[in-house]
Amino acid sequence: MTHNVLVVDDEPKLCDLLASALSQNGVTVFTAGNGLHALKVLEAENIDLVISDWRMPGMDGPQLLAEIKSRFPQLPVIVMTAYSTVKNAVQSMRNGAFDYIAKPFDIDELDITVSKALQFRDILKDNQRMRAELDEHQQIDSLIGDSPTFRRVLHAIDSVRDSNATILLTGESGTGKEMVARAIHKHGNRADKPFVAVNCAAIPEGLLESEMFGHRKGAFTGAVADRVGRFMQADEGTLFLDEIGEMPLALQAKILRALQERVIEPVGDTRERKVDVRVIAATNKNLLDAVANKEFREDLYYRLNVFPIPLPALRERAEDIAPLARHFAHTLGAAAGKRFTGFSAEALQAMASYSWPGNIRELQNCVERATIVASGAVIEEQDLPAYLFASNPGNSGAPIIEGNVPADLDAALAEVEKAYILAALAQSNGVQAAAAQLIGISERSFWYRLKKLGIHVDKIVR
C-alpha cells in the first residue's frame, strides 16, 4: 500500500533530507514550510501521516497539531523538536500527537516510528471501511421494501430521525419494530450514542423497576452493589421500550415521570438523576383498548404517542415479500457457505399466496429452512416448508383446528396435503394437469408432491 506523508519544517534542507530518507521505503512525501501551507496541502491531498516541527514561525507545531486534530481527527501526527524536554514531549502526546522524535534523530529510529504510525493509520482506515460496510448492510437489512405502505414508514423515519420526540411503533408481532427503532437511531442525531433495548415483557415484574432505573447497594435483598439502570445506560442516546403494553401499572407512573421531567430515582436512593434519552416504545397491543380496560395509563399513552408509526403486516405489503426473501436467502446462504441466485417463479408465487401471520420473522425462518434443504442455486417450490400449502390459496388467516392438537405437526400437514391432492385427482379423473390447476399449483410442484407423499395415480384412477 502506498502512503502519503507530509513533512512540515521551516528548514528546506531538513525537508529534503526527510523526503529522501522516507522515499526509500516507498513513501510519497509532500513538504510544507509552515503550518498554513501544511493545512492547504492537507485539504488538497490524501495524507496518511504528518511529521511536523515543534517550533516554526507563524503557526507553530502545537497550533498546527490542534488544527489537524480538529479538522482531521484520525490523522496521526509525529512531532519533531530540537528541544527534547520531557515537558514538550508529554504536552504533544496529551494534545493528540501519535509520537515524537528528537533532533538530531537517528534514521533507523525515524523509520520505526513512521512505520508504526502508518500501521496505525491503516488500521483506522480498515475500521472505517468495515463500519461503512456494516452500516450499509444494516441499512439494507432494516429498510427493505418499496410498497406504498412501507414507503410511508420510510418517510416517517426520515421525518423523525433527527427529532427528540417520543415515538410509538405499533404493529403485529414480527413486523420489524426493533429494526425500525434501530434505523431511527442509526440515521439520527444520536447515532454515536448508546442504543439500549428493553423487552418489558421478558423481565419479572419485581425486577423491572431496578432494571429501568437502577438501584443502590442494600436497597433490597440481593442488591450487593450499585446498579446503573437502562435509562442511565441510554443517557444521550436512545432507549427502546419493546412490549410497552406489558408494563405493570405501578411502574407506568414512574416511566411517565421520567419522560415528562427527564429525571429518574434509583431504587433505594433519595437523589434524583437527570437523564437525556430519546424514547422509542413499541407494542403489538391496541393501547387505546388497554386504556379503556384500565390496563394502561391514559396519560402515559398520550406521552408515548407523540409521533406514532404504524407498521404494516407483511400481507399488507405483498410487493415486498420477494425482495425480502431474496435478501434473507443471500445473507443466510452466505452464512451457511451457499450462494443463491434467487427463487423460482413457483416458489415466489407460493410465498406471495401465503398470509404470513408471523410477518417478517416468519418469512425469515421460512427462507432459512429453504436455504438448508435447497440443493441448487435457485430455491424451488419444493424447498419451501409444507405449511405454506396447507390452507386454501388466498386464505387470509390460519386454518381452523378442531379436536386435539396433533403431536406431529409435519405428519398432520402431510395428511392434509395428501387429502387435497387425492380429492383433486378424483375430481379431474386422474388428469394431473387438471388436478394441479384445481388446487392452484404448477404441474411440476404437483408431480413433486405425488412423489413426496407416495401417491401412485394408476392406483387411484381405473
For 33-37, 82-86, 314-318, 423-427, which range has the lowest pLDDT when averaged over its residues?
82-86
For 26-30, 113-117, 144-148, 201-205, which range has the lowest pLDDT when averaged over its residues?
201-205
Residue 194 CB partners (closer than 8 Å, separation 6+): 233, 234, 235, 236, 237, 238
Residue 399 CB partners (closer than 8 Å, separation 6+): 390, 391
Q: Which three cell numbers stand for residue 210?
A: 431496578
456: how many CB neighbours lie within 10 A of its CB?
8
Cα–Cα distance measured from residue 122 to residue 136, given in angstroms and rounded to the nearest whole number: 21
Which top CATH class is 316-389? mainly alpha
Secondary structure of residue 247 in the 3-state scheme: coil
Percent of the chain's residues with pLDDT above 70 = 87
Identify which has the larger pLDDT, 122 or 238.
238
pLDDT digits 0-9 by tens, 246-272:
899 989 999 999 999 999 888 887 788
Q: At what angle do helices 359-373 and 321-335 cross, to 10 degrees?
A: 50
Residue range 69-85: mean pLDDT, rounded: 81
pLDDT for residue 450:
84
For the chain, give the mean pLDDT.
83
pLDDT for residue 122:
82
Whether 87 has a pLDDT exceeding 60, the answer reads yes
Cα–Cα distance measured from residue 340 to residue 331, given in angstroms and rounded to the nearest whole number: 9
pLDDT digits 0-9 by tens, 290-336:
999 999 999 999 999 999 999 999 999 999 999 999 999 988 888 77
Determine contact, residues 99/113, Cβ cutoff 8 Å. yes
Determine contact, residues 178/219, Cβ cutoff 8 Å. no
Secondary structure of residue 57 in the 3-state scheme: coil
Going by their DSSP bridges, the two strands 238-242 and 278-283 should be labelled as parallel
DSSP label at 274? E
Whether 416 has a pLDDT exceeding 60, the answer reads yes
Decide whether 4-127 matches 148-312 in CATH topology. yes
pLDDT for residue 160:
94
pLDDT digits 0-9 by tens, 341-398:
899 999 999 999 888 888 998 899 899 999 998 988 999 999 998 888 865 433 434 4
pLDDT for residue 433:
77
pLDDT digits 0-9 by tens, 213-234:
888 777 777 666 777 889 988 9
**Is residue 405 very low, low, confident or very high in pLDDT (cuts 50, 70, 90)?**
low
pLDDT for residue 51:
93
- CATH architecture group of domain 148-312: 3-Layer(aba) Sandwich (3.40)
pLDDT for residue 131:
55
Secondary structure of residue 134 in the 3-state scheme: helix
Cα within 13 Å of Cα(349), Cβ side: 10
Whether 136 has a pLDDT exceeding 50, the answer reads no
Whether 399 has a pLDDT exceeding 70, the answer reads no
Q: Which three cell numbers stand for residue 177?
A: 419494530
DSSP label at 267? B
**Is residue 84 very low, low, confident or very high in pLDDT (cuts 50, 70, 90)?**
low
**Is residue 178 very low, low, confident or very high in pLDDT (cuts 50, 70, 90)?**
very high
Whether 284 has a pLDDT exceeding 70, the answer reads yes
pLDDT for residue 429:
67
Note if the bond before 204 is cis, omega within 30 degrees.
Answer: no
Most confident residue range from 67-71, 138-142, 395-399 = 67-71
pLDDT for residue 422:
80
Determine contact, residues 393/440, Cβ cutoff 8 Å. yes
pLDDT for residue 435:
79
pLDDT for residue 280:
97
pLDDT for residue 396:
38
Cα–Cα distance measured from residue 378 to residue 397, given in angstroms and rounded to the nearest whole number: 29
pLDDT for residue 462:
32
Q: Which helix (H) or strand (E) holds 59?
A: none
Give the start-to-end residue ranges of the domains of the chain: 4-127, 148-312, 316-389, 409-460
Residue range 273-278: mean pLDDT, rounded: 91
pLDDT digits 0-9 by tens, 89-124:
677 777 888 888 887 778 888 888 898 888 888 877
pLDDT for residue 406:
58
Q: Determine the topology of domain 409-460 in CATH.
A: Arc Repressor Mutant, subunit A (1.10.10)
pLDDT for residue 1:
57
Residue 423 CB partners (closer than 8 Å, separation 6+): none
CATH for 4-127 is 3.40.50.2300
pLDDT for residue 109:
84
Cα–Cα distance measured from residue 182 to residue 134, given in angstroms and rounded to the nearest whole number: 13
Residue range 401-408: mean pLDDT, rounded: 54
